Amino acid sequence: MGLTRVPGLLYGGDYNPEQWPEEVWAEDVRLMAEAGVTMVTVAVFAWSRLEPEPGAYDFGWLDRVLGLLHEHGIAADLATATATPPPWLVRRHPEVMPVDAAGTRLEFGSRQGYCPSSPVFREHAVRLATAMATRYGDHPALALWHVGNEYADHTLECFCPESARHFRAWLQARYGTVGGLNAAWGTSCWGQHYTGFDQVEPPRRAPGPVNPAQLLDWRRFCSDALLELFTAERDALRAVTPDVPVTTNFMSILHGLDYWAWAEAEDLVSDDAYPDPADPSSHMAVALSYDLMRSLKRRPWLLMESAPSAVSWREVNAPKPPGVMRLHSLQAVAHGADGVMFFQWRQARYGPEKFHSALVPHGGTATRGWRDTLRLGADLRRLAEVAGGHTSADVALVFGWDSWWGLEAPESMPSDRLRLKDLLLSWYAPLHARGIAVDLAPPGADLSGYRVVIVPNLYLCTAEQAEALAAVTGELVVGPFSGVVDEADQVHDGGAPGPLRDLLGVAVEEFWPLPDGLTQPLRHAGGGAGAARTWAEWLRPDQGTAVLARFEGGDLDGLPAITRKGNATYLGCLPADLTPVLDRVLAGVPAIAVPAGVEAVRRGRHLFLLNHTTDEQRITLPYPGRDLLTDTDLRGDAVLAPRDAVVLRIEGDT
Ligand SMILES: [Zn+2]
């Protein structure tokens, strides 16, 4: 069973026919059929064309587009078109435009021009979603609803009076009384004691650092406010078409939105991923985000947008060299995607994205871009049997947004060099290089199925989250500066690691952030030398807690750097090299040996080997099988051309 009623792996992209004369549409659908496109996303930015005047809909053109698609066997991921409110709505109700932290109301002329909390915007968006569902709910091309677009890309927060009212209501629901708010926010500090909710405002620009508890709740509120907006549209769609799945396209690992909560609210996870072709390690970072997408609902997901070649929004937009579009697409499938879609179908002639690559480039079908489009379509057809396949991982990385938001609060932390994405990547990169599958899991999740659980950082840790870690039966590794504060960003009694104190068998007496460029040498119990970078801690281990490494020299000379109690390893520093720690905890976890730059990913009964290097690579296959891309049997060694791939159906595996 695929993500939608469309069988096999989905292939397609954003289709914006409203930017083209109708004569072009016939060619579009003919080329889509030629390339093997199975689904396109329609009407994402089309509100002003669907409702040119208030309440007066013009569905005729979209009727014709959907009819053409259906005639050619192409399904529609139909957008609710609410990512871009039309000019008439903004001029009639200027208050729908968002206000920035300095108090400036933003102007029309881009996209996401809406206040997430505006009741006027919400009413109009829900009305349009209902109209779309009523008009197209029974359309045979309709396969998927696409609500909004890339929430929080431009508009994550709004500081207008309406947003302030919404924030106060959110706080009142959370804390009940203003006394509860004062206690949670620690308003006795700096004389911020409130006597009524009406005195509370969003964290606009202030003379100095803003209360970090207020900021944390603001982050939570902003994610929730947009989620409410999404949910309102979703409910309108479900009321009319309860059987059509609903998604919204995520933006990889985005700081602003708690995707654990968002994924629960949608039927399938879809993601937009734009690894930088100029960054030779970008395939590793994007693999982490793909594993997150697969983990969000523990189900296959959809790569909703990616770039066939260059994007248009970096300072320098490198194209994808030959082979990379295909390789990156296969990589998404390897990590659980049941389809690969692109922004966009036909390259625009105008607007901010006119230089963003597309499946049909400006130069038409006599281009390498179009040849890549055809080739990928053929390859995805060959991989149809991969759809629905699940990944089973032995290792989990624990991470959640509450802790991330708390960790990266500005101007109040021991060091602003602890960045959660960097910490995640520092663990993910060596696991990825060893060909070890990784799931991500939210704090508090049941982790009983994993042989190794790694918590790169859990600055904010509740008692319940600590209990979930204590229940881990495999190896547990906890990174530094964890268990520091509770859910209100207040330091746990007795200091770090707070509720993890007994589990880890160690107390943190003092944080010891290291200045940029300075390392603190350490020595492992086995004798090997190492170093900490960026962060260290003054640790006091309990009796019976083993010391796996000690600092050597410097201010922390002789103090424990890495400890172990039972199955729990604690890092009182950021080791420059995690190999000794990983070697110890990964003993017995199956790995796939591949050369550097080659990715090995198991999905169901298939093994993906992806050569991200520009050299030929020889790989000893861990299993014999049939390469679906070339339809040949392989055993022993496989030779991968530069930027080429093998997708092996493992012999004998069921
Ligand atoms: Zn607002």
- The answer to whether 149 touches 271, Cβ cutoff 8 Å, is no
In angstroms, rounded to a whole number, what is the distance separating the alpha carbons of residues 151 and 157?
11
Q: Give bridge partners of residue 562 from the DSSP assignment.
A: 549, 571
The CB density around residue 528, as the number of other CB atoms within 10 Å, is 12
How much distance in Å is there from the Cα of 116 to the middle of ligand 1? 6
Residues 6+ apart with CB under 8 A from 397: 424, 427, 428, 438, 439, 440, 441, 454, 455, 456
Q: Which two tokens stand for residue 475?
A: 């190896």
Q: What is the pLDDT of residue 573?
A: 98
3-state secondary structure 354-394: CCCCCCECCCCCCCHHHHHHHHHHHHHHHCHHHCCCCCCCC
**Could you read off the pLDDT of 155-170 as tens digits, one per residue?**
999 999 999 999 999 9
Q: How high is the pLDDT of residue 652?
A: 84
* Range list of H helices, 267-367: 282-296, 324-334
Name residues with Cβ closer than 5 Å to ligand 1, which is an ion.
Answer: 115, 117, 158, 160, 162-163
Q: What is the reported pLDDT for 3?
A: 80
Residue 1 pLDDT: 44
Question: How many angstroms does the Cα of residue 182 sit away from the middle of ligand 1?
Answer: 24
Q: First and final CA of the chain: distance in angstroms?
A: 17
What does DSSP assign to residue 99?
A: B
Q: Which residues carry out catalysis?
A: 150, 305
Residue 653: per-residue pLDDT = 63
The CA distance from 525 to 581, in Å, is 11
Q: Write phi, then psi, for 464 (nearest 5 degrees).
A: -65, -40
Are the beta carbons of 261 and 227 closer than 8 angstroms? yes
330 C-alpha vs ligand 1 centroid, how far in Å?
Answer: 41
81-140 pLDDT per residue, tens: 999 999 999 999 999 999 999 999 999 999 999 999 999 999 999 999 999 999 999 999
CA of 206 to the centre of ligand 1 (A): 18
The per-residue pLDDT for 2 is 63
pLDDT at 387: 97
- 418-465 pLDDT per residue, tens: 999 999 999 999 999 999 999 999 999 999 999 999 999 999 999 999
Ligand 1 centroid distance, CA of 98 (Å)? 5
Strand order in the sheet with 625-627: 598-603, 606-611, 645-650, 625-627, 632-634
Distance 155 CA to ligand 1 centre (A): 10
The stretches in the chain having pLDDT less than 50 are 1, 654
